[in-house]
Amino acid sequence: MTESENKLAKFFCDTLMQESCQREDPVEHIFGKKLCVLSSGIEERQNPSNSLNGLSQILPSLYLCGAGAARPDVISDLGVTLIVNVAPELPDTPLPEPPPAYMRVSVLDKGENDIRTHFDEVTSRIETERLKKGVTLVHCVAGVSRSTSFCLAYLIRYFGMTLRDSFLYLKATRPQIRPNVGFFRQLIAYEEEVLGLSTVSMIFIEAIGQEVPDVYAPQYKAMEQFYRKHRKHARRRD
């Protein structure tokens, strides 16, 4: 694992260990996820996609989900102290009593929309909540594109993780994540702004006739091979 992944995993593991000291159940059962602490100090989560009611735990202080999972009972059970609703097309998130702090971000899931302008404000609120020992829940409609983009920006800004490492970390936790291509371009620019480097490149996929982040390339591998094979045979016939 990279140094930034080690840093984040150690933080996650140390925090869970601290919380386990205050609970009767062992650390491997906290939040319903079985953890295995390896000799290197890195924790490995089993069945990462088996999230609680559609939620995915990114950090002890941060959850990501779609709107359907953001229910009052779940919010209360998790001890959420801040809700970030990133779906202006939805009504306000139903909140329990007493209600947690609530933040709305108006960004539709279209690549041409400017999500980057909101990164600093949202990530700052998430970090402030963490420092207060609070818990943040970020959601959009499906928990795939917009809310994921903010979680990636948070890991870049406050944990010094590269965009590539952040994406792979989140995908291991929530396999369905997929910021739209326009948002990913903005995340690439944000990584350059914050860390001064670029770890994800845009590559052209002939089969679909457009550029995608190189971390999406494995999803198009079979399609691209079929396309090239078909094109080769077509040229022979010509």
User: Is residue 151 annotated as part of the catalytic site, yes or no?
Assistant: no
Q: Determine contact, residues 28/36, Cβ cutoff 8 Å.
A: yes
CA dihedral 201, 185, 123, 143 (to 10 degrees): -100
Question: What is the β-pairing status of strands 202-205 and 210-213?
Answer: antiparallel
What are 102's strand-pairing partners?
Answer: 83
Q: Determine contact, residues 60/17, Cβ cutoff 8 Å.
A: no
Q: Determine contact, residues 65/83, Cβ cutoff 8 Å.
A: no
Class of residue 37 by CB neighbours under 10 A (exposed 0-12, middle 13-18, buried 19+):
middle
Distance (Å, rounded) from C-alpha 54 to C-alpha 68? Answer: 8
Annotated catalytic residue within 13, 65, 140, 151: 140
Nearest to 201 by CA among 209, 189, 193: 189
Residues annotated as catalytic (active site), given as ranges: 140
